[in-house]
DNA sequence: GGGTGGGTCCAAC
DNA sequence: TTCCAGTTGGACCCACCC
């Protein structure tokens, strides 16, 4: 894209129009150092030129240009006093971060080399030494190093790859195989850090501080030993990076790829030198567009320049833009939406589209039921024959997860768009009832919800929570769509017992089917509960007595049977949550709790309520989804106003580890 | 007019 | 010959409400 001039006459304007056609797969990647970039660009351009996809890319590019232009204008409007203010803000931020710099940990990032391709070669040795890629004519998941020499790489359509390398062998993906080998590698990782964080099937983060200390061994040796172990276990090679935080470790693991390692010492000077010339694109979270903006608007190419120009960034970026603020404090992040989408030959046949929609609804419902999710916002995504993407959403009164409900509402959304020629349909459900567990039948009720935790307990949880944090999602070498599912599988193996949580979720489904949706309207969704601000306060406070006291206040002394049942169920569900989080220090066998839940055991629930206050104080605060939403809103409305005390992260936070 | 919820779109891998 | 994915989080904008 980035065509010169207006659509359609690009060739007339520039003699080498392909030079400005930059897609993700024309950028450098490990193993592509000697590639003739211009030749690749030209072929990709020629293959794409004139297609509907290409035209759409041009539209998108024009939009980005406009965005950059707007930002330039904004930048030009900043007065010297504004700039001086933001300069101070940036300096203060850097000082704060310097003060909190933590170089005491040693992180290792391990990344399998061309993982899918390597696994395929392992099972079919005749592929060895030949250029091959895993994927289809539409899209490649990864390419081996022989293929990369031709400019073939992940995220590239197969038909373009074939043009670049006519002898390229295409192998279809086989995720069972990759999962098997992934599990083998993880057994090795576990020897060094039982709480390692899986980024995706082919990469992981390990805190090797303890193992280095206990064995009095240098981190280089641990990295080598781990890589040897992976090779022995699987026959596959990997690369490793060692650094004081995960972000840097990830950058380091790419340096001596394939089958190599790089260690960045835990030393301030070494780090500053290392990042000074580091291209911003190397940083996880900075993609094509952000790189474009930083370069064009601010002239920022390296991380050092990013630090130097921190004031500009503070002035013009919301601090959360493009995930720039992600630092190294692991946090539990639960899934916020679930979706399915499929591409097919473009059609405007309504019957056919309805059929596709029904299939998607079925798939989505199955996935939701597996995870015990109920949501109330349904989004229909359409990609038209001209690659235009449309999203249409509806927020419902009730939480749904049955295919019938999903289809019913999705059909309405689709009908409103007809007639249209569509090549992709997607369905997405969000606004879950209390995150994964979903215990409250009332969308407005701030009860059983989410955990926002920190510290070591978190790190444990992180290894089995949904790894949706893009900091930890792999490079495009692997297919993230699959990664999500499979990291989910991995989580089941973790110390908190994913099977248990699945059961819990299943239980919450039962609750829902019994009486949830109807009661939303009758018992819970009244003014008293939806405007019960005190309840919200309670929930947000670490010293809170928990939501059940609030509920009791609400109910008063004349607790009717139905409310009592709800209260009981909520209480038990809450404890299931706590058990899952393993924060209460009380080990209730899941079957025991679930049995109580199933029979709505009042005695048990009331006993829990009595113990609530003493235990709750030692547990991690629970934030409701609504409350978190509110917190987000507050942060958002304060963006660019740096007087805020919590000091959200800026791009300059990147290279510091918060304590 | 600030806060909030809903809807749309984009960025990232 | 084949002809550009799938999933998720969140920013941004707008309408509405108090």
Domain range summary for chain A, segments of one domain joined by +: 10-77, 104-266, 337-434, 491-628
- Third-level CATH fold of A337-434: Dna Ligase; domain 1 (3.30.1490)
- Distance measured from the CA of protein residue A418 to the C1' of nucleotide B7, in angstroms: 19
CA–CA–CA angle A558, A563, A568 (5° rounding): 115
User: For C3, which residue's CA is nearest its C1'?
Assistant: A159
**Closest nucleotide to A391: CA versus each C1':** B8
User: A596: part of which helix (H) or strand (E)?
Assistant: helix A590-598
What does the alpha-carbon distance between residue A38 and residue A17 come to, in Å, rounded to a whole number?
A: 11
What does the alpha-carbon distance between residue A223 and residue A206 come to, in Å, rounded to a whole number?
A: 10
**Strand C-contacting residues in A 606-635, CB cut-off 7 angstroms:** 632
**Strand order from edge to edge, sheet including A132-135:** A140-143, A132-135, A169-171
- What's the pLDDT score for residue A627? 36
- What's the pLDDT score for residue A333? 58
pLDDT along chain A (659 residues), means of 10: 36 58 57 76 82 82 77 78 79 74 87 90 92 88 89 87 92 85 90 85 89 96 96 94 88 89 91 85 74 81 81 66 36 76 91 92 91 90 89 89 91 88 92 54 26 27 28 29 27 26 24 24 25 21 23 27 45 42 32 44 41 30 34 36 30 35
Q: Reduced to 3 DSSP states, what percent helix, strand and coil does chain A have, rounded to the nearest 5?
A: 55, 15, 35
What does the alpha-carbon distance between residue A202 and residue A600 come to, in Å, rounded to a whole number?
A: 44
Question: The domain A104-266 belongs to what CATH superfamily?
Answer: Reverse transcriptase/Diguanylate cyclase domain (3.30.70.270)
- What's the pLDDT score for residue A27? 53
- Distance measured from the CA of protein residue A395 to the C1' of nucleotide C6, in angstroms: 23
In a 10 Å sphere around its CB, with 0-12 CB exposed, 13-18 middle and 19+ buried, how is residue A564 labelled? middle
User: A391: part of which helix (H) or strand (E)?
Assistant: strand A389-400
**Strand C-contacting residues in A 450-479, CB cut-off 7 angstroms:** 466, 468-470, 476, 479
CB-strand contact A333/C, under 7 Å: yes
User: For B8, which residue's CA is nearest its C1'?
Assistant: A391
Q: Are A30 and A85 in contact (CB under 8 A)?
A: no
Chain B bases closer than 7 A to any CB of the protein: 2-13
* CA A91 to chain centroid: 30
- The strand ranges marked E within A551-647 are 622-623
**Strand C-contacting residues in A 368-397, CB cut-off 7 angstroms:** none
Write down the residue that tokens 């300069």 correspond to: A87
CA nearest neighbour of A385 among A356, A423, A350, A352: A423
Write down the residue that tokens 């065509």 correspond to: A3
**Closest nucleotide to A337: CA versus each C1':** C8
Residues of A belonging to the active site: 203
User: For C7, which residue's CA is nearest its C1'?
Assistant: A481
What does the alpha-carbon distance between residue A590 and residue A496 come to, in Å, rounded to a whole number?
A: 11
- The strand ranges marked E within A208-336 are 238-243, 261-263
């Amino acid at each position: 894209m980035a065509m010169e001039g207006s659509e359609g006459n690009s060739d007339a304007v520039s003699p080498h129009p392909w030079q400005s056609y930059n897609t993700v797969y024309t950028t450098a990647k490990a193993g592509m150092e000697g590639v003739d970039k211009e030749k690749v660009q030209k072929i990709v351009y020629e293959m794409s030129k004139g297609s509907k996809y290409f035209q759409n890319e041009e539209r998108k590019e024009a939009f980005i240009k406009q965005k950059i232009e707007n930002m330039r204008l904004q930048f030009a409007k900043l007065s010297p006093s504004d700039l001086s203010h933001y300069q101070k803000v940036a300096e203060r931020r850097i000082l704060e971060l310097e003060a909190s710099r933590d170089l005491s940990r040693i992180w290792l990032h391990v990344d399998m080399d061309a993982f899918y391709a390597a696994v395929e070669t392992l099972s079919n040795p005749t592929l060895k030494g030949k250029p091959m890629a895993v994927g289809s004519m539409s899209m490649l998941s990864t390419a081996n190093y022989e293929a990369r020499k031709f400019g073939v790489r992940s995220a590239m359509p197969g038909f373009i790859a074939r043009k670049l390398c006519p002898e390229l062998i295409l192998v279809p993906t086989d995720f069972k195989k990759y999962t098997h080998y992934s599990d083998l590698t993880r057994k090795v990782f576990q020897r060094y850090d039982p709480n390692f964080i899986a980024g995706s099937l082919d990469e992981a983060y390990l805190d090797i501080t303890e193992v280095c200390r206990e064995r009095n061994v240098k981190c280089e040796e641990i990295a080598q030993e781990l890589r040897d172990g992976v090779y022995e276990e699987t026959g596959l090679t990997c690369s490793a990076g060692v650094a004081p935080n995960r972000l840097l470790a990830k950058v380091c693991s790419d340096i001596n790829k394939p089958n190599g390692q790089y260690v960045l010492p835990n030393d301030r000077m070494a780090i500053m030198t290392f990042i000074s010339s580091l291209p911003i694109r190397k940083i996880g979270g900075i993609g094509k567009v952000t790189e474009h903006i930083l370069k064009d608007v601010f002239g920022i190419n390296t991380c050092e320049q990013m630090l130097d120009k921190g004031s500009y960034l503070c002035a013009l970026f919301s601090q959360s833009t493009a995930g720039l603020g992600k630092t190294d404090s692991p946090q539990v992040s639960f899934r916020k939406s679930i979706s399915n989408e499929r591409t097919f030959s473009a059609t405007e046949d309504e019957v056919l589209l309805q059929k596709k929609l029904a299939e998607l609804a079925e798939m989505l419902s199955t996935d939701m039921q597996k995870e015990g999710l109920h949501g109330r916002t349904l989004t229909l995504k359409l990609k038209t024959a001209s690659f235009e993407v449309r999203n249409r959403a509806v927020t419902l009164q009730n939480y749904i997860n049955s295919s019938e409900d999903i289809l019913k509402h999705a059909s309405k959304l689709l009908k409103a768009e007809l007639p249209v020629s569509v090549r992709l349909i997607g369905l997405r459900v969000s606004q879950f009832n209390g995150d994964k567990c979903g215990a409250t039948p009332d969308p407005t009720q701030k009860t059983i919800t989410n955990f926002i935790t920190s510290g070591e307990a978190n790190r444990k949880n992180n290894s089995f929570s949904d790894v949706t944090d893009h900091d930890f999602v792999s490079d495009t070498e692997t297919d993230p769509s699959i990664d999500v599912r499979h990291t989910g599988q991995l989580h089941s193996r973790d110390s908190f017992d994913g099977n248990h949580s699945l059961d819990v979720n299943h239980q919450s489904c039962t609750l829902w089917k019994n009486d949830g949706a109807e009661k939303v309207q009758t018992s819970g969704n009244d003014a008293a509960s939806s405007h019960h601000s005190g309840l919200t306060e309670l929930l947000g406070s670490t010293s809170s007595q928990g939501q059940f006291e609030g509920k009791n206040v609400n109910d008063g002394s004349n607790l009717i049977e139905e409310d009592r049942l709800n209260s009981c169920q909520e209480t038990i569900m809450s404890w299931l949550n706590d058990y899952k989080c393993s924060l209460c220090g009380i080990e209730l066998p899941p079957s025991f709790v679930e049995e109580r839940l199933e029979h709505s055991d009042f005695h048990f629930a009331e006993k829990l309520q009595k113990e609530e206050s003493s235990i709750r104080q030692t547990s991690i605060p629970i934030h409701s989804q609504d409350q978190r939403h509110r917190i987000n809103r507050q942060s958002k409305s304060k963006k660019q106003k740096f007087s805020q005390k919590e000091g959200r992260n800026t791009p300059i936070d990147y290279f510091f580890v918060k304590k």
